[in-house]
Structure 1
Amino acid sequence: MNDAELNRFREIIAARLDALAHEDELGSEGQATVELDQQSVGRLSRMDALQNQAMAKASATRRDIERRRLKAAFGRIDEGEYGYCEDCGDEIAHARLNLDPASQRCVQCAKG
């Protein structure tokens, strides 16, 4: 992979990290503690609020995992290992990296 391609993947990864940070900002309200005052909110409304809170926390966890994968991809770029399958060592198809720039395995190894 040449330097221009690596720079393009750096930009893609950086853009995805920025998008995750923006999603974190939007999702922070949904993770707030649910008020359990029965005078102001009915039982079903509290259940909805708790469900929404759980979904917001699950989304935050998903974003954290994705963030770690993308940062690891930056590390592989710096080490000169980006774009190579961690199992077989073959080059990962650019189309696969375009879809998921944090991919660590080629299609054959990912299938098992």
Structure 2
Amino acid sequence: MDEPTPKDLKALFLIRLEEELRALREASEHTAADRRPVELDQQSVGRLSRMDAMQQQAMASAQETRRNGRGRALEAAIARIEIGEFGWCDECGDFIGLGRLELDPTVMRCRDCAT
């Protein structure tokens, strides 16, 4: 199969990338309360309950950190689509391959350069 054009790649991947980015942003909004600092009111909850709440808050914060990293990768892929550089390896300039892009459209290197 011939290498797709930037227009082909935009048609194949732009909506998918934008939808995933939108879903990440919605998930971030829905879990904002989970990341708020834990109130340490000694009168309302016991020590174990506070520790559990702090652990839940830490896990929600870690998940948000991962979500932010993925969001930045998605935004970068969308920017590469817009300037016509999406799908080509940043190292060697060869086409990354549709199969690899289908697995993760945020990849920036071909299989050979990634290893």
Regarding TM over 0.5, the answer is yes
- 2:99 aligned with 1:68: no
Give the match for residue 48 of structure 2. Answer: 44
Using structure 1 for the length normalisation, give the TM-score: 0.92
User: Which aligned pairs between 1:1-112 and structure 2 lie closer than 5 A?
Assistant: 1-2=4-5, 3-111=7-115
Per-residue deviation, 1:99: 1.6
Residue deviations 1:76-111, cap 9 Å, x none?
A: 112211100101111111111112111101112112
The count of residues paired between Structure 1 and Structure 2 equals 111
CA distance in 1, matches of 2:28, 2:101: 24
Per-residue deviation, 1:26: 2.1
Displaced runs of 4 or more, over 3 A: none
For residue 104 of structure 1, give the secondary structure of its aligned residue in structure 2: coil
Structure 1: stretches of 5+ with no match in the other structure: none
Identify the structure with bigger relative contact order (alpha carbons < 8 Å, sequence gap 6+): 2
CA distance in 2, matches of 1:26, 1:50: 18
Q: 1:79 to 1:87 in 2, by over 3 A?
A: same
Using structure 2 for the length normalisation, give the TM-score: 0.89
Identity %: 48
Structure 2: stretches of 5+ with no match in the other structure: none
